[in-house]
Amino acid sequence: MILSGTMQINSKQHLEIGGCDTVALAEEFGTPLYVMDEEQVRENCRRYLQAMQKKYPRGKILYAGKAFLVLAMAKLVAEEGLGLDVVSGGELYTALKAGFPAEHLYFHGNNKSRQELLEALEAKIGRIVVDSFSELQELQELSASRRQKVDVLLRVKPGIEAHTHDYIQTGREDSKFGLGFSEAREAVRQILSAAPYLELRGFHCHIGSQIFQLEPYRLAAKAMLDFMSEVRAETGYVASELDLGGGLGIRYTQGDNPPSIETFVETVAAAVQDEAEQRKYPLPELLLEPGRSITGEAGITLYRVGVIKEVPGVRCYVSVDGGMMDNIRPALYQARYEAMIANKALQEPVKTVTIAGKACESGDLLLVDTCLPPVEKGDLLAVFSTGAYCYAMASNYNRNPRPPVVFVRNGKPRVVVRRETYGDLLTLEEL
């Protein structure tokens, strides 16, 4: 089992998180229920900042909002002194409504609409990360019509193959994100020669997500400094910022062994410093964008066990009151998790079962062939490491209301997202 942060087994043999008994949380707030260890989230933010300050004083940490972003999370990120990257008008709106400082917002995305770009300009956010020639042209037109200077980064594909799932590799040549090196050089020339309202501050790349090996980051740093040196030689432009994205993996199972936050930051910082020194390139400000590694292991999801169905000679299905609606990752990425019976936390695992969701899909399986103590209807199942990309990707499939999100800290829970009701499902509908 993966007990991280403040998680422990209490005297009642129940799983506890943030000083709160999970059985009591389920009774008070119902299930399914997302629970976030607020202290662990804050501690991870601080570890990133401290590591960056120690290894690369001209560095900045941006939280990748796509992992998990609600008003309370945006406020927490601001309180901890991180910047925030957003990838849609909705994420931008959330951040601004939470009072997040606009100058510390970075706007990503491969297909930003004209309206989204306009909203970013009106908010005067810190950086817009340009992803394509068409976006470059549209942003140039909007900034010129408003006579507004805009600071931009240019997203580049470094052609690095990260060892992760195909769907979450983003830095290779065959990717919908960013521009190849030759295209990016042309984009630089266009910005420098024909875009008077665009201020090119530097370059961005992101090689993927849930990455355990650090060598791809070293290769990305080398590829980007090679590219930046070539641009300098061709145009005289020297980038003041280099954003190498995020992607550090977390533990979903006991077999997972990702590098620590400190090792990740130290490795990337050293690679950039070494590559810049070799080329006599002025050391740029280094930006990193962790998301999953800040919130992932800090979250659990609680479910109530319902129907238990033994298929003789095949498997035992244990159905819970959630599923792919609140965690699409097993169906989408074949992601693996670990779980425990939260009300029987010290009982020995003795039976191999498959945890099935309640969606009307044969593929709605949260855990396949996992070993648990004897399971009974009404037991409370806790699935670990669900703090990233679960609430963020949740849906109302089969007209299921989305679960609430509760932050826990020092024995006190607080609802940061209330449970949806059936009425909420109909809010936008008309007969």
* Tens digits of residue pLDDT in 114-166: 999 999 999 999 999 999 999 999 999 999 999 999 999 999 998 876 554 34
- pLDDT at position 208, please? 86
Catalytic option among 45, 205, 316, 360: 360
pLDDT in tens, the chain (431 residues): 789 999 999 999 999 999 999 999 999 999 999 999 999 999 999 999 999 999 999 999 999 999 999 999 999 999 999 999 999 999 999 999 999 999 999 999 999 999 999 999 999 999 999 999 999 999 999 999 999 999 999 999 988 765 543 433 444 566 788 999 999 999 999 999 998 999 999 999 999 888 999 998 999 999 999 999 999 999 999 999 999 999 999 999 999 999 999 999 999 999 999 999 999 999 999 999 999 999 999 999 999 999 999 999 999 999 999 999 999 999 998 999 999 999 999 999 999 999 999 999 999 999 999 999 999 999 999 999 999 999 999 999 999 999 999 999 999 999 999 999 999 999 999 99
Helices assigned H by DSSP within 279-383: 292-295, 329-333
Length of the chain: 431
Q: Name which of 149, 139, 130 is nearest 196 in CA terms.
A: 149
Q: Name which of 421, 345, 418 is nearest 384 in CA terms.
A: 345
Amino acid at 339: A
Residue with tokens 């370059």: 203
What separation, in Å, do the N-terminal and C-terminal C-alpha atoms of the chain show? Answer: 49
Strands, E, within 65-126: which ranges?
83-86, 105-107
Fill in the DSSP letter of residue 297. G
Q: Name which of 34, 94, 93, 74 is nearest 391 in CA terms.
A: 34
* Residue 314 main-chain phi, psi, to 5 deg: -120, -70
Separation between Cα atoms, residue 404 and residue 176, nearest integer Å: 33
Residue 360 annotated as catalytic? yes
Query: And the tokens for 6?
Result: 């403040």
Q: For residue 282, is the peptide bond before it cis, meaning its omega torsion is within 30 degrees of 0?
A: no
Cβ(227)–Cβ(156) below 8 Å: yes
Measured from the Cβ of residue 365, the count of other Cβ atoms closer than 10 Å reads 18
- pLDDT at position 176, please? 85
Separation between Cα atoms, residue 283 and residue 273, nearest integer Å: 7
C-alpha 423, offset from chain centre? 30
Query: And the tokens for 88?
Result: 């849609």
- pLDDT at position 325, please? 98
Separation between Cα atoms, residue 337 and residue 320, nearest integer Å: 15
- pLDDT at position 2, please? 81
Separation between Cα atoms, residue 292 and residue 306, nearest integer Å: 30
Q: Name which of 268, 153, 147, 247 is nearest 200 in CA terms.
A: 153
Separation between Cα atoms, residue 315 and residue 318, nearest integer Å: 10
Cβ(284)–Cβ(275) below 8 Å: no
Q: Name which of 104, 128, 101, 98 is nearest 116 in CA terms.
A: 128
β-partners of residue 381 are 303, 341
Query: And the tokens for 82?
Result: 């991180």
What is the Rg, in whole angstroms, of the alpha carbon atoms belonging to the chain? 23
* Residue 40 main-chain phi, psi, to 5 deg: -65, -40
Q: Name which of 123, 127, 125, 129 is nearest 109 in CA terms.
A: 129
Separation between Cα atoms, residue 135 and residue 38, nearest integer Å: 37
Separation between Cα atoms, residue 392 and residue 280, nearest integer Å: 42
Measured from the Cβ of residue 142, the count of other Cβ atoms closer than 10 Å reads 17
